[in-house]
Structure 1
Amino acid sequence: MVKIMGNLESSCGKNPELVVDFCTGIEEDSDIAFHFRVYTNSMVVMNSFQKGGWQEEKRMFSDPFMPGQPFELRFLVLENEYKPNPYQQSVSLAVGFMVKIMGNLESSCGKNPELVVDFCTGIEEDSDIAFHFRVYTNSMVVMNSFQKGGWQEEKRMFSDPFMPGQPFELRFLVLENEYKVFVNNESFCQFAHRLPLQSVKMLKVKGDTVLTSVDTF
């Protein structure tokens, strides 16, 4: 794993950028196995550079990096891919839609690790959140929604099936009237819809987590 911490600063009024390259050598024209470029307030671009040319580009039109704000960026090298954290992907919800997240919660500086999953209406930092799911390990799970600039009525579960240092499988099943949450193949909780399913456009996962997979069905 590679962990990068820092702060994106604007220069001459332009939006700051961040580039992380996994290269095959120190030469300027070396191949790049994984090129990760952040255009703040715009998008994230991923690619590779092979035999003197850029390959097929992958773009994420979402950006969790805020100019002037500290960030923590992690890259986990898996057997078949690189997995960045925080993680985002576009989604289109419907009844029967499922998200499956697998990973491992890791303690940092002796504190209990946290995990956050947000079903958002857009890519902007202040977008509404139809379903906010936050795990405080060894304590509780908090569920809420963020609408029109403010948090709504919070729902708390004073039970926590997540264990620091242990792998987990977390699933969200979209039903007609609610989200149903499963942890390690066991039914855990429900959260009633507060915003229309059609308004949800973005899935965000972040926290003290080593993500091994994020799948949608």
Structure 2
Amino acid sequence: MAFVAPPGYQPVYNPRIPYLGPIYGGLREGMSIYFQGSIPEDITRYFINLLCGESESSDVALHVNPRFDGWDKVVFNSRQNGSWESEEKIRDMPFSKGQAFEMIILVNSQGYQIKVNGQDFHTFSHRIPVERVCALQISGDVSIQTINVIGVRRPVTAGAHLPPVPYSSMIPGGVSPKRTIIIRGMVPYGADRLSVNFLVSRSRDIAFHLNPRLGEGVVVRNSMTGGRWVAPITMHPCTMIVFVSQMSIRCGNQKFKVFVNGQHLLNFFHRHQPFTEVDMLEIEGDVQISYIHF
């Protein structure tokens, strides 16, 4: 039976701008919104709004507005009852014309912490309770490739988790042919490496070690038996360099198959026999996990 993820975990790819869409389940402290996009050469300005309703006239809890107008700046604000409040102008421009960017809005107890290309940029203090936010609006001179809400409000299907890293869990029922494990999350800008291990719990043998080394630009695949690593296999990681929204690891009779964002990335032929002894999953390194489905 095919697995369909709940709507709150679905990333948005290549949305048409202007964009207006819901944030399923709303926001809360500890969540974050990830944007991957690019700025055109002829940009004037664009904005991102966190809305308290699903219409353009709704209250705005956060307004992020980069302006390229000769006095380049980013303006932050909020709007209540149809009236804009006091602006916070940051006369610094972290975005570059003609360049790609990554932006993360992290929700904390103080406000919205904005990071651009891995660097802290500004924190906008809460003026409206974050629990009222239920929609996202984007308009202006910008191209967006990915929007992903990390750490959704609550799991809505069996098998869903919001786990810390490092992560370790038994795989209910163990690994079997045609079984697929789905991992969703975010690899932040500037991350170095992460690892996903499929283990035999009783021996601690690692049947499949998947190790994207982002700083080196390779993915290492390996196994460990009796405390010793076997000769690794490496390859270029393609779509895993900066951001992973979904990784699926499917077990077959001969090999593990790894897919990233629906695209086949690599295979790893079984070295541990029988592979059906694999019954544990471990995840470590530079990754923020939003969802795991066994």
User: Partner of 2:22 in structure 1?
Assistant: 90
Distance (Å, rounded) in 2 between the aligned partners of 1:197 and 1:81: 25
The structure-2 alpha-carbon separation of the partners of 1:209 and 1:184, relative to structure 1 and needing over 3 Å to count, comes to: same
Is the 2:35–2:148 contact (alpha carbons within 8 Å) kept by the matching residues of 1?
yes
Is 2:73 the partner of 1:115?
no
| Residues 51-70 of structure 1: pairs in structure 2 closer than 5 A | none
Q: 2:63 aligns with which of 132, 135, 139?
A: 132
Q: 1:105 aligns with which of 16, 22, 39?
A: 39
Is the 1:103–1:210 contact (alpha carbons within 8 Å) kept by the matching residues of 2?
yes
Partner SS state of residue 85, structure 1:
coil
RMSD: 1.9
Structure 2: stretches of 5+ with no match in the other structure = 1-6, 151-294
Is the 2:14–2:144 contact (alpha carbons within 8 Å) kept by the matching residues of 1?
no
In the alignment, residue 89 of structure 1 is paired with which amino acid? Answer: G
Distance (Å, rounded) in 1 between the aligned partners of 2:81 and 2:13: 37
Is 2:63 the partner of 1:163?
no
Deviations 1:87-109 (A, max 9, x none): 2221210111111111111144x
User: Partner of 1:194 in structure 2?
Assistant: 127
Distance (Å, rounded) in 2 between the aligned partners of 1:124 and 1:172: 21
In the alignment, residue 20 of structure 2 is paired with which amino acid? Answer: Q
Structure 1: stretches of 5+ with no match in the other structure = 1-58, 60-79
Aligned-residue offset at 1:201: 0.9
Distance (Å, rounded) in 2 between the aligned partners of 1:86 and 1:154: 23
Deviations 1:64-123 (A, max 9, x none): xxxxxxxxxxxxxxxx96531122221210111111111111144xxx432211000112
The structure-2 alpha-carbon separation of the partners of 1:163 and 1:90, relative to structure 1 and needing over 3 Å to count, comes to: same
Deviations 1:176-201 (A, max 9, x none): 12100000000000000000111111
Runs of 4+ with deviation above 2 angstroms: 80-83
Q: 2:82 aligns with which of 149, 153, 158?
A: 149
The structure-2 alpha-carbon separation of the partners of 1:173 and 1:192, relative to structure 1 and needing over 3 Å to count, comes to: same
Partner SS state of residue 198, structure 1:
helix
Partner SS state of residue 84, structure 1:
coil
Distance (Å, rounded) in 1 between the aligned partners of 2:92 and 2:14: 32
Is the 2:20–2:54 contact (alpha carbons within 8 Å) kept by the matching residues of 1?
no
The structure-2 alpha-carbon separation of the partners of 1:82 and 1:125, relative to structure 1 and needing over 3 Å to count, comes to: closer
Partner SS state of residue 131, structure 2:
helix
Is the 2:46–2:139 contact (alpha carbons within 8 Å) kept by the matching residues of 1?
yes
Distance (Å, rounded) in 2 between the aligned partners of 1:81 and 1:95: 25
Is the 1:101–1:170 contact (alpha carbons within 8 Å) kept by the matching residues of 2?
yes
Aligned-residue offset at 1:148: 1.0
Partner SS state of residue 16, structure 2:
strand
Q: What is the TM-score of this pair, normalised by structure 1? A: 0.59
Q: What is the TM-score of this pair, normalised by structure 2? A: 0.44
| Residues 172-183 of structure 1: pairs in structure 2 closer than 5 A | 172-183=105-116
* Larger Cα-atom Rg: 2
Distance (Å, rounded) in 1 between the aligned partners of 2:90 and 2:18: 24
Distance (Å, rounded) in 2 between the aligned partners of 1:81 and 1:113: 24
Give the number of aligned pairs. Answer: 136
Deviations 1:96-155 (A, max 9, x none): 1111111111144xxx43221100011222111011110013600000000111010110
Distance (Å, rounded) in 2 between the aligned partners of 1:145 and 1:104: 25
In the alignment, residue 129 of structure 1 is paired with which amino acid? Answer: V
Aligned-residue offset at 1:209: 1.0
**Higher relative strand content:** 1
In the alignment, residue 97 of structure 2 is paired with which amino acid? Answer: P
